[in-house]
Structure 1
Amino acid sequence: MKLNFSIIIPVYNRPNEIDELLESFTKQDFSDAYEIIIVEDGSDNSSEGIVEKYTSDLNIKYYYKENSGAGMSRNFGMEKASGNYFIILDSDVILPNTYLSSVKKALIQNFTDAFGGPDKAHESFTPLQKAINYSMTSVFTTGGIRGKKKSVGKFQPRSFNMGISKEAFDTTKGFNHYKVGEDIDLSFRLWEEGYETQLISVAYVYHKRRTSIKQFFKQTFSFGTARPELNRRFPSTKKITYWFPSVFILGLDLFLILAIFGYWQFLMCYVLYFTVLFLDSLLQNKSIKVAYLSIITTLTQFYGYGLGFLKSFLFKSSE
């Protein structure tokens, strides 16, 4: 099968990020023709001027549509695409120069109708962005499900860095209307249709993520609320590990209360955990500040996801 890539990028009020992403496309060590489709999802702050800067260097198509969310915008872009394999990226990523060649090589060696790739922190990112990246990718926080090949069974691609064949898109009709968890929902429906997914570990992106603790909390809270809904729609995918953040924060709150009454020894397991976390982050990031922030971002992640999960589990969403 000859691969003809169409790159689908939804964007909402983030022209500066699109500038960085398109710049990274100009540095790809990839000689095959491909197209980039930018879908402006009802933005007030348009990216059209930024896109025009790159039209002489890249094959770009720009579309503006009413706001409908990232999932529907990705579907819109895939409907407009001319390729037979779609690569979907978030606007807040930057590509290493080997990204497209790594995807092509991996798919030639082991073709699957969908794939996902991991994310990393670029050396230029702020300490907070590096700490958030650590919390989202570390084996000690998420079990490595976002990119550690030995840590997963069937890989669930995430929409910040994933691919899907035109055939699989036509069969599944792409993303559902859900605002959160729509990529995992798509993975489950792909499996139901008999399509295979894979992790291409070398096809990583630099992911800038949220830039404040408040934004990161809101994002992880949304992730938490999505999981019970996914469990209801796909009961066979339930795992006890999804409860871990909720159990973690409930245990921490209980032990803090016990510490007030003098039973501080129960907190030692948490002290040990965060000590290991600090040292691991320090080893990976070579920065005491990032290691310290990693404790804060991990707490934020667990409280956000854990509270969102409990809310959705106890009070079923009307969506």
Structure 2
Amino acid sequence: MKTKKITVVVPLGEHREYTALESVKKQKPSVNLFLEIGRNPPQNRNKGVKKAKTEFVAFINGHTILSDDWSKNVLKFFKEHQEIDIVGGPQLNHEKDSFFAKTSGYVMSSLFGGATIANRYKISKLDLNADESQLTSSNLICRKKVFSKVLFNESIYPGEDPKFISDAISQGFRVASTPSIAVYNKRRQNLKGFLKQTFNYGNTRPQQHDFATTLKKPLFFIPSLFVLYIVLFGFLSALHMMFIAPLILYILLSLFFSFYEAVNNKSFLAFFVLPIIFFHTHVAYGLGFLYGLVQKKRLPQLTDVVQ
């Protein structure tokens, strides 16, 4: 029997649905599977890391479906790119997902909805100098040596995966993104669940770095500025008609990207739903980001996390 080279760690909340098992069992070469159950996903991942004895440790979610050649392509990639320490690929819409779930996936993969992180959710070209904007822990594979210097910050969720990747880069590890290592992720099934997820993403963004570092990525502030604009719209438009222009521009952009995504994904009905989801996504993220700024507290340093 050949020695397995990959351990797949799946953090799973108590009483949460687990659909990843079948696709993990289909992998050739076969992989080890550690299912870590608990209320703290980054802590669950760290527990799996400490148990793993293989050369590579991978992370997926409980509802992630691996492509049939996933493990084969992972090993092939690391063999061809000895200089890379961490690699990941896109998490795509699952073909059996509901209409709303797929449409929310179109939002996340759109430049208008996902901005700099849109490449996490669609097929993109090979990048051997990737960063946290391109990868997530639903499809992330690391050489075991990475964890001698970096672990997941257990005080952040969601958003612990970009923090982990940025910490790894700061420690000198090389990160890549490749379309050959793809998975399929089930999305939130309704607007309420999707907006809660988006709010939480915004909420944890300011916690991942100090304020000065966050300022270096001003794009993340735009949804919050949009929220403030909407709140003050009545007052501003009464002051001068020119303050209506940003709203008109927003509507035009929303319609343009809705049309593009509907055509690109061959979903006529999506055109009528996308503007609504785009708007709520921007508001939810903006509110979450503002709340995160207010609630921001000091995070443990890297040396506090690595044991």
Return the TM-score normalized by structure 1.
Answer: 0.80
Q: 1:256 to 1:284 in 2, by over 3 A?
A: farther
Q: Measure how far apart 1:239 and its partner are.
A: 0.9
Matched, 1:212 2:209: no
**Hey, what's the Cα distance between the residues in 1 that align with 2:139 and 2:66?**
10
Partner of 2:258: 278
Q: Does 1:21 align with 2:1?
A: no
Instruction: Give the counterpart letter for 1:34 in structure 2.
Output: V
Partner in structure 2 of residue 316 of structure 1: 296
After superposition, residues 1-319 of structure 1 pair within 5 angstroms as 4-13=5-14, 16=17, 18=18, 20-28=19-27, 30=28, 32-41=29-38, 67=39, 69-111=40-82, 112-143=84-115, 145=117, 146-147=119-120, 148-149=124-125, 154-156=130-132, 157-232=135-210, 235=213, 238-255=216-233, 263=241, 266-317=246-297
Residues 247-287 of structure 1 show CA distances to partners (whole Å, capped at 9, x for unaligned) of 23334455576678995555321221111121112112222
Of 302-311 and 106-115, the range deviating more from structure 2? 106-115
Q: Secondary structure at the match of 1:172?
A: coil
- Distance verdict in 2 for CA 1:203–1:236, change over 3 Å: same
Partner of 1:51: none
After TM superposition, the score normalised by the length of structure 2 is 0.83
Distance 1:153 1:105 in 2: 18
Which runs of no fewer than 5 residues in structure 2 stay unpaired?
A: 300-307
Measure, in 1, the Cα distance between the counterparts of 2:291 and 2:248. 28
Write out per-residue CA displacement over residues 225-261 of structure 1, whole angstroms, 9 at most, x where no aligned residue.
Answer: 2121223188288311111222233344555766789
- Tell whether the 8 Å contact from 2:59 to 2:138 is kept in structure 1 after alignment: yes
In structure 2, relative to structure 1, the CA distance for the partners of 1:190 and 1:214 (3 Å cut) is: same
**SS where residue 293 of structure 2 aligns?**
helix
Counterpart amino acid of residue 145 in structure 2: E
Q: List runs of 5+ in structure 1 lacking aligned partners.
A: 42-66
Structure-2 change in CA distance of 1:102 and 1:175 (3 Å): farther
Q: Is the Cα contact below 8 Å between 1:231 and 1:238 reproduced in 2?
A: no
**One-letter identity of the residue aligned with 1:70:** P
Q: Is the 8 A contact 1:9 1:37 kept in 2?
A: yes
Shift in alpha-carbon separation, 1:15–1:251, aligned structure 2, 3 A: closer
Q: Find the aligned partners of 2:233 and 2:127 in 1 and give their Cα distance.
A: 30
Aligned residue identity for 1:36: L
Amino acid at match of 2:188: R
Amino-acid identity (%): 25
- CA distance 1:14–1:132, change in 2 (3 Å): farther
Distance 1:165 1:215 in 2: 34
Give the counterpart letter for 1:213 in structure 2: L
CA deviation profile, 1:18-57 (whole Å, cap 9, x unmatched): 2x311223443x2x2421111122xxxxxxxxxxxxxxxx
Change (3 A) 1:114 1:225: same
Contact preservation (8 Å) 1:176, 1:186: no
Q: CA RMSD in A?
A: 2.9
